[in-house]
Amino acid sequence: MSDQHPIVDDDVLGPLTRATTELTDGEILVHDWYAATLPADGGELEIMVEGTSPEEVVPLLPRLRDAIARIDALRRIASDAVVTRFSTGDPEQHELDDAATDLVLETVEASADGTIVLHLIDSCGEHFPEGYWPAVHLGAGDRVEQVTVEA
C-alpha cells in the first residue's frame, strides 16, 4: 500500500488498486478508477470501479459483488441486448444463442451512479470491426439502459 494510492482490499473481489498505465517514455498515467482481475472461464475477468479514493470506491462494491455473483445471467442479458440493439427486426433464438457464445465478457465496470457496464469482445471477429467492442449499461434491476459501441 502506498500513501498516494491506497489499496482497497475486498473479501470477495480481492485487492483493487488504482489503475495506471506506463507510457513508452516512462511517464505513468493514473486513471480515475480502481481495478482488479478475477479468474473466469479459464481466463481472467477485469473489474473496474469508478473512483479516485477508497472513500469513493467502497460504496460501489456491494453492487459490483452482486453483479459478479450473477455474472452468467448478466452476461446473457448483455449479449441478448447487443443482438436486439443491432438487429433490424426481432432476433431469432439461434442469433441470440450464437451471440451468447461469440460475445465474450472481458470487463465489468461499476460506475459512480450505480450503473454496471459490461464490456464484451467479439471473439470470432464477425460482429464488430477490429478495435471496437459493445458495452451494455445496466441500471437498477438489471434493466438495460444503453448499448454502446466503444473503441
pLDDT at 3: 53
Does residue 122 form part of some domain?
yes
pLDDT at 4: 82
Q: What is the pLDDT of residues 84-124, one digit of tens each?
A: 999 999 999 999 999 999 999 999 999 999 999 999 999 99
Does residue 1 form part of some domain?
no
Does residue 59 form part of some domain?
yes
Does residue 61 form part of some domain?
yes
Does residue 133 form part of some domain?
yes
Range of the domain at 95: 8-150
- Is the pLDDT confidence value at 1 over 60? no
Does residue 3 form part of some domain?
no
CA separation for the pair 59, 102 (Å, rounded): 33
Considering its fold, how many domains does the chain have in total?
Answer: 1
- CA 69, distance to chain mean position in Å, is 14
Does residue 98 form part of some domain?
yes
For residues 64 and 13, the answer to whether their CB atoms sit within 8 Å is yes
CA separation for the pair 131, 39 (Å, rounded): 24
- Average pLDDT of span 75-88: 97
Q: What is the pLDDT of residues 5-34, one digit of tens each?
A: 899 999 999 999 999 999 999 999 999 999
